[in-house]
Structure 1
Amino acid sequence: MANTKSSKKRILVNKRNNLQNRFYKSSVRTLTKKFLKDLETYKSSQSTADKEKVQIVLNSIYSLIDKGSKKNVYHKNTAARKKAKLAALLKTAI
């Protein structure tokens, strides 16, 4: 149990940060799965509508990764690695 005022505050700050980290990480994982599913659909159909759908999902993943990196949820190299991996997957599909 926390004894000092500062340790009680640290507990509250850690809870807040944990929720924020969990939001970014789970959202990125969920969108990545959606991206991979949409990418498979695009590979089989090769339609422009599917390509636009994949690009929209990829942009939203990039946005979340960048915001998470800015808030120290992700290390900058981890964020860059995740983005590069997704870009490479898209490039092989085209």
Structure 2
Amino acid sequence: MPNIKSAIKRVKTNQNAQDANIAQKNKMRSAVKNAKTAKENNAENAGELESYAVKLVDKAAKNNLIHDNKAARVKSQLMSK
């Protein structure tokens, strides 16, 4: 644990940012999984879930949580199923 006041603040800030990033990434993964299962089961709301998943993938790519190419790959997989 750091002794300097600014370093202590930095640790806290970094932890908060990490928690937020992990939460956003988990939300994105869940949305993608829900959209894929909905398309496989021919659910009525598959289109809505797909567009929501694409939106979250784009946001994650914009915030550099995932690479742009991975975002494109995930979106392509969603659209092709």
TM range (shorter): 0.7 to 0.9
Unaligned runs of 5+ in 2: none
Tell me which residue corresponds to 2:79.
Answer: 87
C-alpha separation between the residues in 2 aligned to 1:17 and 1:5?
Answer: 19
> TM-score, normalised on structure 1?
0.71
The one-letter code matched in structure 2 to 1:14 is N
Contact 1:28 1:64 in 2 (8 A): yes
Q: Deviations over 1:20-43 (max 9, x none)?
A: 21112111221122112211221x
Stretches (4+) displaced over 4 A: none
RMSD: 1.8
Structure 1 gap segments, 5+ residues each: 43-48, 90-94
The percentage of counterpart residues that share the same residue type is 31
TM-score, normalised with respect to structure 2: 0.80
User: In 2 relative to 1, CA 35–70 (structure 1 residues): closer, same or farther, beyond 3 Å?
Assistant: same
Pairs aligned (count): 81
